Amino acid sequence: MDLQLAGRVAVVTGASKGIGLAVTSTLLAEGARVVATSRTRGPGLEALACPDLVHVPADLMDPAAPEEVVARAAETFGGLDILVNNAGGPPPGVTLPRGSFLDAGDEEWRAMFEFNLFSVVRAVRAAIPLMLERGGGAIVNVSSGNARQPSPINVDYGAAKAAMTNLGKALSVEFGSRGIRVNTVSPGPVRTPWWTDQGGVADMIAAQAGAGRDDALDKIAPEMMNLTTGRLADPQEIADAVALLASPRSASTTGADFAVDSGFLKEI
Which residues face 259 on adjacent strands? 186
Residue 104: C-alpha distances to residues 94, 100, 147 (Å): 10, 8, 18
**Widest distance between CA atoms in the chain:** 57
Contacts of 204 (CB under 8 A, 6+ apart): 97
**Rounded Cα–Cα distance for residues 196 and 202 (Å):** 6
Reduced to 3 states (helix: H, G, I; strand: E, B; else coil), residue 94 is coil
* Residues assigned a catalytic role: 157
Contacts of 126 (CB under 8 A, 6+ apart): 66, 67, 70, 71
Is residue 255 within 8 Å of residue 169, measured between CB atoms?
yes
Which residues face 53 on adjacent strands? 34
Sheet holding 33-38, edge to edge: 53-57, 33-38, 9-13, 82-85, 137-142, 180-187, 257-260
Residue 257: C-alpha distances to residues 132, 170, 175 (Å): 23, 12, 17
